[in-house]
């Protein structure tokens, strides 16, 4: 879609993004962060990529996701400065010869800290136990995006 200029750019986040850094865990959806304009009300007017895929025969939905080659793909408009930063700094990784933009491990963990569900925190813990994260970079993100409370709570649970 980037090649065809349907999207300016994208970055894979969520659980699938995490699999590029740490060992497996159960997940299914491919979360694709995209940048788009919204109306003054905050409503998203049109999600890029959706019509593009429909025109190419991908018409099956599962919840809010569109199914592409058996993978449920959800286009997620970046909705806060942390996600914008994650989107902008995504790194290009090579997957079987194809370049794939994936959110940095440090931003993935910061988003997990913000979301704060038990499974997010368990997943974040795996980044540390598998040495898949630069702690200084994460702490810089935590400080700038005011996630100090979430970070302290994470540490207090002796997760790292």
Partner 1 sequence: MSSKLNNGGSVERYRNKEAQREQEAKRPVEEKMEAVVRLRDFERKLEVIRKANRAKRAAKQISIEFKTR
Question: What's the closest the beta carbon of residue 130 comes to partner 1, in angstroms?
Answer: 7
Question: What's the closest the beta carbon of residue 44 comes to partner 1, in angstroms?
Answer: 10
Nearer to partner 1 (CB atom), residue 6 or residue 89: 89
Alpha-carbon span 105 to 101, nearest angstrom: 12
Question: What's the closest the beta carbon of residue 124 comes to partner 1, in angstroms?
Answer: 14
Binding site for partner 1 (CB under 8 A): 19-24, 26-29, 37-38, 42, 62-64, 70-71, 74, 76, 78-85, 88-89, 91, 93-96, 104-106, 111, 114-117, 120, 130-134, 137, 140-141, 144-146
Provide the 8-state DSSP code for 151.
H
Spell out the residues 6+ positions from residue 36 whose beta carbon is closer than 8 angstroms to its own. 44, 45, 46, 47, 48, 77
Provide the 8-state DSSP code for 90.
P
């Amino acid at each position: 879609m980037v090649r065809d200029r349907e999207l300016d750019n994208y970055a894979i986040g969520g659980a699938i993004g995490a699999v590029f850094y740490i060992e497996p865990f159960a997940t299914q959806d491919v979360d694709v962060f995209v940048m788009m304009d919204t109306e003054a009300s905050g409503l998203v007017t049109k999600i890029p990529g959706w019509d593009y895929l429909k025109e190419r025969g991908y018409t099956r939905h599962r919840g809010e996701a569109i199914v592409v080659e058996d993978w449920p793909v959800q286009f997620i408009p970046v909705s806060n400065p942390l996600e914008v930063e994650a989107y902008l700094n995504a790194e290009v990784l090579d997957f079987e010869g194809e370049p794939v933009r994936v959110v940095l491990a440090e931003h993935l963990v910061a988003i997990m800290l913000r979301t704060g569900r038990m499974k997010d925190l368990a997943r974040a813990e795996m980044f540390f136990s598998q040495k898949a994260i630069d702690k200084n970079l994460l702490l810089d993100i935590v400080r700038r995006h005011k996630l100090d409370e979430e970070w302290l709570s994470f540490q207090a649970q002796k997760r790292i």
